[in-house]
């Protein structure tokens, strides 16, 4: 049997045959419909082949992969588990526990306002001799800075990592501490695209480098910070592109050899939601894997319930995301996992070329500070941000559990110790869900005909309204327009949506709308011709629900109408 299996051969599949088969599966749609665009306008093709890459970037592939591999110092990364508390004693207890369970470093955010005691700082000083530290945004009022005086000068060279912020004026001896960071997270959370993130980091670097008399001194003090979003392959290409862009910048300063700066990545909270919070675990896992494959040096994974207050279990889950990647996938045994991928190499090159071009535009306008002051950066980012929100509202981008597959059986998580993240995509839905969790209009899906005919539209309407927290009831399945008309006249409800399917939908609705009560707020599910829409609106139909309609605007309209009705009662 085994010998027969060894002799089995398969027909060779070439690109033309693949395209032909793919086109047949599209059932009338063109093959070009498989091509999509990123936020930067980069075309994503359905298939990337050796022939395609040879026609486009063959001369660049070796240079890109070599640069990525030479500037990534190790084939692994440091697990940097954040601690979420405002008590120094609790910080130390949580830190020691996390270090025993797989965390590999000490992470401190100066914006968290931890109250430090002498005993907690003493213990922290002891731990700093054994674990790298990543301390960001330290302020002059933060007592954390005192920890550096507690370590004797002969031991200070053992302390490694990063300390940045306005209070960074370390005592002598901390030669292994980097004190500058270039942060792309601010523009990321404003809603920017990847090209903008990369270009802004380069522009910030040029400005910061002016404080040093040579580029090596500057790069030796530097760490770069990125937030990693859920666009898996795009985020991989982002980190790879940065390494090539940084090398290009270094060569511009006359640097000889390969220049490398450590990359600290964190899972982005831009797509995190308070709705169906466990979905955030999937988002964080996706983002963490992208960061690792992209070549990050340090990684922080945020707990899935960070928006409403993490707990011991959620912090354990977040830490274990990285531990599983390290211990069960062997992913930390490879330097450049995606090197040689036709898709990723092409995408990496696109980001390199576009980001460098944009960086040069910023420099031509006087550098980062001048460009920021001009308002052009905010204008560009706000445009991208608005496009992101529109994609979500029109359901072109899915936020599982938020704008699709919303679960009304689970109450929205209430804030315990929440953090504020600007421009989160789920926030408009959370506000509506909170409102309709308390206010409960009676909403009815008015069904006509056979179940198999009306069910797709009824399911759609139920899912559409659920994204805003509106629950529904179902009417009986009426066989005739007269049955439905009678029931609608006799039944009290605040809002109804007609769902009709089958071949004679238009004719049926024409008959139905002839005798509907004018005082009832009724809409229809589906897209129809302009003439039908006009006629039905004249008969008292308020609006239409269909795929692609702006969910946020529609549910806000329902909210406003409901409030007006209630105020007149």
* Per-residue pLDDT of the chain in tens (569 residues, 90 and over written 9): 677 777 888 777 788 888 888 888 988 888 888 999 999 999 999 989 888 888 889 889 999 999 999 999 889 999 999 999 999 999 999 999 999 999 999 999 998 889 999 999 999 999 999 999 999 999 988 999 999 999 999 999 999 999 999 878 899 999 999 999 999 999 999 999 999 999 999 999 999 999 999 999 999 999 999 999 999 999 999 999 999 999 999 999 999 999 999 999 999 999 999 999 999 999 999 999 999 999 999 999 999 999 998 999 999 999 999 999 999 998 988 889 999 999 999 999 999 999 999 999 999 999 999 999 999 999 999 999 999 999 999 999 999 999 999 999 988 876 665 678 999 999 999 999 999 998 899 999 999 999 999 999 999 999 999 999 999 999 999 999 999 999 999 999 999 999 998 888 999 999 999 999 988 999 999 999 999 999 999 999 999 999 999 999 999 999 999 888 776 66
For residue 152, is it left (φ>0), alpha (ψ between -120 and 50) or beta? beta
The predicted structure's pLDDT at residue 439: 86
367 Cβ neighbours under 8 A, 6+ residues apart:
203, 206, 207
Q: How far is Cα 273 from Cα 402, in angstroms, rounded to an integer?
A: 7
Q: What residues contact residue 535 under an 8 Å CB cut-off, 6+ apart?
A: 510
For position 29, what pLDDT does the model report? 87
Say how far apart CA 484 and CA 508 lie, in whole Å.
11
Q: What angle do CA 392, 310, 467 make, to 5 degrees?
A: 25
Task: Give the pair of three-digit tokens for residue 476.
Answer: 């009986």
Specify the pLDDT at position 280. Answer: 97
Q: Could you count the other beta carbons within 10 Å of the beta carbon of residue 103?
A: 24
Dihedral sign (CA 322, 323, 328, 331): positive
Given this model, what pLDDT does residue 51 score?
A: 86
Q: Look at residue 463 in the predicted model and tell me its pLDDT.
A: 97
CA 372 to chain centre: 24
Tell me whether strands 495-500 and 522-525 are parallel, antiparallel or unpaired: parallel
Q: Are 498 and 509 in contact (CB under 8 A)?
A: yes
Q: Which residues pair with 183 in a beta bridge?
A: 225
The answer to whether 493 and 443 have CB atoms below 8 angstroms apart is yes
Q: Which two tokens stand for residue 112?
A: 């968290």
The packing angle between helices 232-252 and 342-364, to 10°, is: 50
| Residues near 62 by beta carbon (within 8 Å), at least 6 away in sequence | none
Rounded to 5 degrees, φ, ψ at 449 are: 95, -155
Residues 6 or more apart in contact with residue 76 via CB below 8 angstroms: 326, 332
Q: What is the three-class DSSP state of 326?
A: helix
Structure tokens at 127: 């731990």
Query: DSSP character for 513?
Result: G
Direct distance between the N- and C-terminal alpha carbons of the chain, in angstroms, rounded to an integer:
80
Q: Tokens at residue 424, please?
A: 């989160």
pLDDT of residue 568: 62
* CB neighbour class for 550 (10 Å; exposed up to 12, middle 13-18, buried from 19): middle
Nearest to 77 by CA among 135, 158, 132: 132
Q: Which residue is listed with tokens 């040069």? A: 360
Environment class of 476 (CB within 10 Å of its CB; exposed 0-12, middle 13-18, buried 19+): exposed
Domains and CATH numbers, the chain: 1-71+182-371 (3.20.20.240), 77-178 (no CATH), 434-567 (3.40.50.280)
CA Rg value for the chain: 29
Say what the pLDDT of residue 415 is: 61
Asked if 303 contacts 314 with a C-beta cutoff of 8 angstroms, the reply is: yes
Q: In 450-539, which ranges are E strands?
A: 473-474, 495-500, 522-525
Ranges of beta strands (E only) in 215-349 are: 222-228, 263-267, 298-300
Residue 167, token pair as written in the block: 């209070």
CB-based burial label for 529 (10 Å; 0-12, 13-18, 19+): exposed
* Nearest C-alpha neighbor of 443 from the set 554, 532, 277: 554
For residue 81, the cross-strand partners are none
Residue with tokens 């769902």: 499
Q: For residue 425, how far is the Cα from the chain centroid?
A: 9
pLDDT on residue 418: 65
Name 265's Cβ contacts closer than 8 Å, sequence gap at least 6: 225, 226, 227, 228, 239, 291, 294, 296, 298, 299, 300
User: What does 67-119 look like in DSSP terms, one character per residue?
Assistant: HHHHH---SS-EE--B---SBHHHHHHHHHHHHHTT--SEEEEGGG--B--HH
CA trace torsion 272, 241, 261, 250 (10° rounding) = -150
Question: CB of 47 within 8 A of CB of 70?
Answer: no
Phi, psi dihedrals of residue 142, rounded to the nearest 5°: -85, 120
pLDDT score for 334: 86
Contact 271, 425 (CB under 8 A): yes
């Amino acid at each position: 049997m085994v010998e027969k299996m060894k002799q089995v051969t398969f027909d060779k599949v070439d690109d033309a045959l693949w395209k032909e088969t793919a086109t047949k599966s599209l059932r009338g749609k063109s093959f070009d419909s498989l091509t999509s665009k990123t936020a930067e306008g980069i075309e994503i093709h359905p298939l990337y082949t050796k022939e395609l890459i040879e026609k486009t970037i063959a001369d660049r592939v070796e240079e890109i992969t070599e640069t990525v591999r030479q500037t990534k110092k190790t084939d692994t990364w440091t697990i940097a588990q954040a601690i979420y508390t405002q008590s120094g004693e609790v910080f130390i207890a949580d830190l020691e526990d996390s270090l025993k369970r797989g965390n590999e470093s000490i992470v401190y955010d100066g914006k968290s306002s931890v109250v430090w005691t002498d005993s907690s700082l003493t213990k922290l000083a002891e731990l700093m001799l054994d674990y790298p530290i990543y301390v960001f945004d330290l302020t002059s009022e933060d007592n954390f800075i005192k920890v550096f005086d507690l370590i004797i000068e002969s031991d200070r060279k053992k302390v490694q990592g990063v300390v940045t912020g306005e209070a960074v004026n370390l005592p002598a001896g901390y030669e292994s501490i980097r004190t500058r960071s270039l942060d792309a997270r601010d523009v990321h959370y404003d809603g920017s695209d990847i090209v903008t993130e990369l270009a802004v980091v380069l522009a910030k670097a040029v400005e910061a480098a002016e404080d040093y008399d040579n580029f090596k001194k500057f790069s030796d003090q530097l760490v770069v910070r990125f937030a990693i979003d859920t666009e898996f392959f795009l985020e991989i290409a982002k980190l790879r592109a940065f390494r090539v862009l940084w090398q290009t910048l270094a060569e511009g300063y006359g640097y000889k050899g390969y220049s490398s700066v450590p990359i600290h990545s964190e899972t982005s909270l831009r797509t995190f939601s308070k709705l169906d919070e466990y979905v955030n675990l999937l988002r964080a896992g996706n983002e963490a894997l992208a960061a690792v494959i992209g070549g990050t040096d340090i990684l922080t994974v945020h707990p899935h319930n960070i928006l409403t207050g993490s707990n011991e279990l959620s912090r354990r889950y977040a830490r274990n995301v990285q531990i599983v990647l390290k211990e069960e996938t062997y992913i930390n045994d490879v330097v450049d996992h995606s090197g040689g991928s036709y898709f990723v190499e092409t995408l990496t090159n696109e980001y390199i070329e576009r980001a460098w071009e944009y960086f040069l535009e910023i420099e031509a306008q006087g550098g980062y500070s001048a460009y920021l002051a001009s308002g052009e950066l905010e204008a560009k980012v706000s445009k991208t941000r608005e496009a992101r929100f529109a994609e979500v509202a029109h359901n072109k981008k899915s936020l599982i559990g938020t704008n699709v597959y919303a679960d009304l059986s689970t109450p929205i998580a209430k804030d315990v110790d929440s953090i504020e993240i600007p421009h989160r995509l789920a926030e408009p839905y959370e506000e509506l869900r909170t409102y309709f969790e308390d206010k409960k209009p009676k909403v009815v899906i008015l069904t006509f005909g056979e179940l198999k005919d009306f069910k797709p539209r009824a399911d759609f309407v139920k899912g559409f309204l659920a994204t805003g927290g509106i629950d529904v009831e179902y009417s009986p399945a009426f066989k005739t327009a007269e049955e439905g008309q009678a029931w609608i006249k006799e039944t009290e409800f605040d809002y109804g949506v007609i769902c009709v399917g089958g071949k004679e939908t238009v004719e049926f609705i024409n008959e139905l709308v002839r005798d509907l009560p004018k005082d009832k707020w009724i809409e229809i599910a589906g897209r129809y011709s302009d003439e039908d829409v006009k006629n039905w609106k004249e008969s008292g139909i308020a609006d239409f629900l269909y795929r692609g309609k702006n969910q946020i605007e529609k549910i806000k309209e329902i909210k406003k109408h409901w409030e007006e009705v209630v105020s007149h009662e």
